[in-house]
Structure 1
Amino acid sequence: MSSPRPFHRIQQLIEFCILVNGAGNKGRSGKLAAFSTGPLALCRQSKPPGYLNGCRRRTIRTIALSRRDRFDPYAYTSGRWLRGDELERSARHITFDFDALCQRVIELCPGAASISNCEKKEGGFNRVFIFTTDNGQSIVARLPFALAGPPRLTTQSEVATIHYIQANTSIPIPKVLDWCDDASTSIGTEYIIMEHADGVQLHQIWPNMAGEQRIRCIKAIVQKIKEIANVEFPAYGSLYHATARLSSASKVPLNQDFCIGPHCGAMYWNCNPIEPRYYQNTKPNQGPWSDLGAYCDGLIDAGIARIPPDSDHQNRLRYQGSPSDHLHLLDSGRSVIKKMSEDSRILNAAVPTLLHPDFHKRNIFVSEDDPTVVTGIIDWQSASVEPGFWYADHIPNFAMSIPDPFGQRDPDSELCAKAFDACVQFLVPKLAGPRYLDESLFRLFRYCYRTWKDGAVAFLSELIETSQHWTSLGLPGSCPFTTPTPEEFVIHQQYKRFVAAQELKRDLSGLLNTTSEGWVPSEAWETTVLAHKELFANMLEAVLTDADTDDDEPIRDESDLREIWPFDLKDIYPQSRKLGRSEAFSAPRPTAALSHCQTQGYEV
């Protein structure tokens, strides 16, 4: 019997783990997204418990009195990460005066004298407090995390975007009552205070909706998408008020009240300690960009800014490539995507377009009496004007066709996916056009800014694929990327390892019910940590006991598996201690843990 092909090795190891645990793959289908083809498509603090004791009682009289020991407005408490947990949580810590925020909420609510309750909710890029006053008013305060982008700009842009959409469409967005982009005020942080959205969150009511209701709801949502997608913009970037404190060179006028300014998205700024930026090889390029060519330069410059000095990264993955490899590839990539941007199909698909950055069910409110009526769309943080094709492959979670563990399609989700496709095709031509073009025309644009994160081999493979299919794609002239050098071919040989790493991350995330970055809800943390250790132990056992491998196999021993493992292993079988197979697997393993993670189906 021949050994398995390397591209299928990870899946076989995952299946082995499931068999060892005696657990079906229940719950996993709900976590898997649709993956496009192509190399890169595999890749899209606390205060002490008694902090309330010194607060003014008139202001926060009964805030979560039964949960004082657990309510912490400063630290991130909604989940933890299997990779870089301490850094991730630290990056979401906000130091501010919670009492002053409560007082400001009371001042904005006529007739209120105190806060009767406060609920904290957290996303990846902001913290939300839902206040209830003693006279029954519900008010929402939103505080941005610094890793979302420069807080001053993200706050300015979100408020301007809301005001612009309210002035130019019928999209229902809660009214902004107060906002501040200055962290030096008494509250001590940037914030937006808004009315609470009417209705109920779509995710709460979706499971009980009939198929016909879901389709009508999807049509209503796409009608709202159509309104904002139809608005024309003169440049790419983020929206700001015309009075925003920006240099004149950083503004493209939209009308007398609004302008396009610097893109405030995290990919263009040094705001994330987990993915730092370096500017020794390029200057910051955050826009705005008046044409597609300038936008392409912004993408490439964002990719170059991620490349560290050579001395900063000695323990690189084999498929990572050196800083000089990345600089060379991005130089080639700049020439290629700027040449591609001359193609009329790509130009037509790149019309500047503003859309909501995250159309999932938690951000959409509907009428409780009639869930086909949209009553609110929230969380416009980081909304930006992008080429239409940038949004074309975004599929909301209410429109995903979800496979079950046996490869079959869930009929209800399939129906919703088809309904969404049909509505977009007929109602939103800015998105429909790019969706029906060969997606190979856009992959280089979508991934060039993240080559350091994905590895040089991934982007090199995309360049090779594009070059080889240049003529069949109908692109003008000849591809600026020439035949790879011998050194580049050496890098390309690590492509199988890259694919194995991406497949492993995808499958582990599904089995453990985490995001691709390893986020786990707090209540599932201990169980997921046990399941994670169990999976690694079982996969390592499979690697060590498999004698039927060939020379092309990317995972041949423990060091190979550790290298591509996507989550932290520092406390699991330390590399410095070489264990024999019998020793490594003699201890009992918590086999119930993996089964628990697979059946919970946490929504993240």
Structure 2
Amino acid sequence: MRFLNLVHNPVVKKIIEHAGLSATRRTEHSEYEHFFRCTSGRWIYNEQEQMRIRYVSFNVDALKQLATTAARANQCVEMVKIAEGSFNKIFRLTFDNGEKLIAKIPCPLSAPPRLCTASEVATMDYARNVLGVPVPHVLRWNADADASEVGTEYILMEHVQGVELYQRKQNFGKEGRAFVDNIVDIECKFTRRRFSQIGSLYYKEDVSPALQERPLYAEGEQDGDGSDRFRIGPYVEWDIWRGKRSDIRADRGPWPDALSYIKALIDIEKKWITNFAIPRQPHDTFRCSGNDNLPDTHIRLLDDFLAVLPSILPGEDLCTPVLWHNDLHAANIFVAPEGQPDISGLIDWQGISVRPLFLAAGFASCLKYDGDERIVIPPGITSISPPPGYDSLPEEEKAYMKKQLRFAAMHKYYEIRVMQRNPPYFASQTYPNIEHIIPPIYSASRTWYEGPHHLRQMLLDLHGAWEGIAPGVPYPVSWDADEIARHREEYPKLMEYEDRIAQVVKGLQLEGDGWVTNERFDDVKRRNTKIIKNWNPKELGGPYPFQDGGPSWFLS
């Protein structure tokens, strides 16, 4: 058993801090403070809490020295934070021999950083060396903060050549199709291998002896291709670890099948609601109406969903466990700076896991068209047509529309190529009633944050589509007539309220949990204060959420 380091004892740590000494080996120089805290933007509400969960200190000099050795250089001449998100901070280090490396430091908000880091490194290795996906080469890493010279978990990887996709996509012409084919090639590699369980990838030595004995691939799959080096271990998707959920004793995988996996997600949420959900008091600005404020209401809805779950899951082929990078947006893809847009690197593998195909696979966000509403994406193998009145548009507007039509054509070409070249993925996206099956699976872990009305409506929608989903099977949920009558009266009002909130988000140009850039913060904060003063909850359908104490995706 590993004994806890004495300096992690909160009493001892406090004494040391009062003595003006360091309680860790981490660098305390104020010159590095901007590395530790979030500096890319601010939050217009709950800002202190948001900053706290993204703050991570570490020994910068130790990281530089490790990176210098990995780069076979004598000195690190520059270290710059080039990106940060809710779950990690990214640094570019430049050395006296001209080499550049990338350092990645997980934030406390991520799933247990030890598991998260170990899984990310193994997943990148597997994708690069087994699947043949263009992924940065990891040079050095440590998933044990206590044993790390840096004082936290870290990954050092090569600097990907090329430019981020968004720098080239705007000017794509015919080469846009070549890029689409590259994406489809990669996704075909994802569906080529079926795994034995649902969970996250690790090196064999990083999972328990019991898990080491289990095969990597599903029965019938050929061994080789990493089966001696990799195993499926605990799930690192953030949703089951967020907040106090990390303190819950629960089954966190791996799981043998989709039903076990989804049941475990719901079980974790039920335990969190039972042990940690605090009903809002009558005087609380953010209190839900009626029984929606009671934990028992949420537990009952989750039990109702568990009752329908076995009957709504697709067949075995669409539930097969696959690895899939589900965050292919334009900043996570690097391409050649000119000429053919060959993909030189896919980044951000943190949290990427092995999941059922119908949940894992999704439309590559870098190709999804959601631009001009006048352009319609038709179903089937059909080309994109210009909108009505296109020929009479002014030249400047027509040039804009031509570019939009090119983006829409890439969307359609991607759909067609997936249908032609990746039948398992295509089948998962076109499975009958899939639009009724997937949403409640995700909503089930968010009822306390979103309110239970969404899951209740989804269960009603499932009831309405039941004959097409599970013909001959009685719907297993009995509804309380008064509850449903109340829901049918309140739900449209709640949707109107959420639409008003969405309009505020659009008007203030807010990102997750009220985040804005530093440059816009003062102006948005001022405008938000005016909205708070003028917001009438009774007239507008509910409380104004973007004020301190309001609901938060990351803090709930």
Shorter-chain TM-score range = 0.7 to 0.9
8 Å Cα contact 1:357/1:382 also seen in 2: no
Q: Distance in 2 between matches of 1:305 and 1:468?
A: 30
8 Å Cα contact 1:309/1:323 also seen in 2: no
Selected match of 1:96 from 58, 62, 68: 58
Q: Distance in 2 between matches of 1:247 and 1:259?
A: 11
Moved >6 Å (runs of 4+): 68-71, 405-409
SS in 2 for 1:362: coil
Give runs of aligned pairs for residues 2-41 of structure 1, distance below 5 A: none
8 Å Cα contact 2:35/2:81 also seen in 1: no
SS in 2 for 1:141: strand
Q: Distance in 2 between matches of 1:412 and 1:455?
A: 40
Quick one: structure 1 residues 562 and 99, their matched pair in 2 at CA, closer, same or farther if it must change by over 3 Å?
farther
Q: Distance in 2 between matches of 1:465 and 1:111?
A: 61
Which residue of the partner structure matches residue 462 of structure 2? 466
SS in 2 for 1:508: helix
Which residue of the partner structure matches residue 325 of structure 2? 356
**By how many angstroms is 1:80 displaced?**
1.6
8 Å Cα contact 1:96/1:188 also seen in 2: yes
Q: Distance in 2 between matches of 1:496 and 1:412?
A: 37
8 Å Cα contact 2:166/2:331 also seen in 1: yes
**By how many angstroms is 1:114 displaced?**
3.0
Q: Distance in 1 between matches of 2:315 and 2:488?
A: 28
**What's the Cα RMSD here?**
2.9
Counterpart AA for 2:261: Y
8 Å Cα contact 2:117/2:153 also seen in 1: yes
Which residue of the partner structure matches residue 245 of structure 2? 277
Counterpart AA for 1:357: N
Render the CA deviation track for 1:178-225: whole Å, top value 9, x for unaligned.
000111122100000001011111122222x23322232122122112
Selected match of 1:180 from 142, 157, 179: 142
Which residue of the partner structure matches residue 289 of structure 2? 318
The normalised TM-score by structure 2 is: 0.79
Which residue of the partner structure matches residue 353 of structure 2? 384
Which residue of the partner structure matches residue 480 of structure 1? 476
Which residue of the partner structure matches residue 169 of structure 2? 206
Counterpart AA for 1:258: F
Q: Distance in 2 between matches of 1:360 and 1:178?
A: 26
SS in 1 for 2:155: strand
Which residue of the partner structure matches residue 574 of structure 1? none
Which residue of the partner structure matches residue 401 of structure 1? 370
Which residue of the partner structure matches residue 262 of structure 1? 234
Q: Distance in 1 between matches of 2:212 and 2:450?
A: 31
Render the CA deviation track for 1:577-597: whole Å, top value 9, x for unaligned.
xxxxxxxxxxxxxxxxxxxxx
Q: Distance in 2 between matches of 1:84 and 1:251?
A: 46
Counterpart AA for 1:198: Q
**By how many angstroms is 1:485 displaced?**
4.6
Which residue of the partner structure matches residue 553 of structure 2? none
8 Å Cα contact 2:532/2:547 also seen in 1: no
Which residue of the partner structure matches residue 188 of structure 2? 226
Q: Distance in 2 between matches of 1:95 and 1:435?
A: 43
8 Å Cα contact 1:240/1:259 also seen in 2: yes
8 Å Cα contact 2:141/2:154 also seen in 1: yes
Unaligned runs of 5+ in 1: 1-58, 541-556, 572-604
Unaligned runs of 5+ in 2: 1-26, 217-226, 282-286, 377-386, 388-400, 551-556
Counterpart AA for 2:42: R
Quick one: structure 1 residues 300 and 250, their matched pair in 2 at CA, closer, same or farther if it must change by over 3 Å?
farther
Which residue of the partner structure matches residue 197 of structure 1? 160
**By how many angstroms is 1:475 displaced?**
4.2
**By how many angstroms is 1:74 displaced?**
0.6
Counterpart AA for 2:175: Q
Quick one: structure 1 residues 110 and 278, their matched pair in 2 at CA, closer, same or farther if it must change by over 3 Å?
closer
**By how many angstroms is 1:348 displaced?**
3.0
Which residue of the partner structure matches residue 286 of structure 1? 252
Matched, 1:244 2:206: yes
8 Å Cα contact 1:310/1:323 also seen in 2: no
Quick one: structure 1 residues 427 and 405, their matched pair in 2 at CA, closer, same or farther if it must change by over 3 Å?
closer
Counterpart AA for 2:498: Q
Matched, 1:372 2:372: no
Q: Distance in 1 between matches of 2:515 and 2:368?
A: 23
Q: Distance in 2 between matches of 1:356 and 1:467?
A: 32
**By how many angstroms is 1:259 displaced?**
0.8
Which residue of the partner structure matches residue 524 of structure 1? 520
Which residue of the partner structure matches residue 501 of structure 2? 505
8 Å Cα contact 2:136/2:345 also seen in 1: yes
Matched, 1:450 2:412: no
Counterpart AA for 2:163: V
Which residue of the partner structure matches residue 329 of structure 1? 301
Q: Distance in 1 between matches of 2:289 and 2:129?
A: 52
SS in 2 for 1:285: coil
Selected match of 1:296 from 239, 250, 262: 262
Quick one: structure 1 residues 393 and 210, their matched pair in 2 at CA, closer, same or farther if it must change by over 3 Å?
closer
Matched, 1:73 2:10: no
Aligned residues: 479
Selected match of 1:431 from 415, 420, 425: 425
Render the CA deviation track for 1:490-510: whole Å, top value 9, x for unaligned.
355432343134323333222
Quick one: structure 1 residues 393 and 113, their matched pair in 2 at CA, closer, same or farther if it must change by over 3 Å?
closer
Matched, 1:566 2:545: yes
8 Å Cα contact 1:200/1:366 also seen in 2: yes
> Percent identity at matched positions?
27
The normalised TM-score by structure 1 is: 0.73
Q: Distance in 1 between matches of 2:61 and 2:443?
A: 43
Q: Which has the higher contact order (CA 8 A, sep 6+)?
A: 1
SS in 2 for 1:482: coil
8 Å Cα contact 1:300/1:333 also seen in 2: no
Q: Distance in 2 between matches of 1:72 and 1:219?
A: 41
SS in 1 for 2:348: coil
Q: Distance in 2 between matches of 1:90 and 1:190?
A: 18
Q: Distance in 2 between matches of 1:474 and 1:308?
A: 31
Selected match of 1:140 from 95, 102, 105: 102
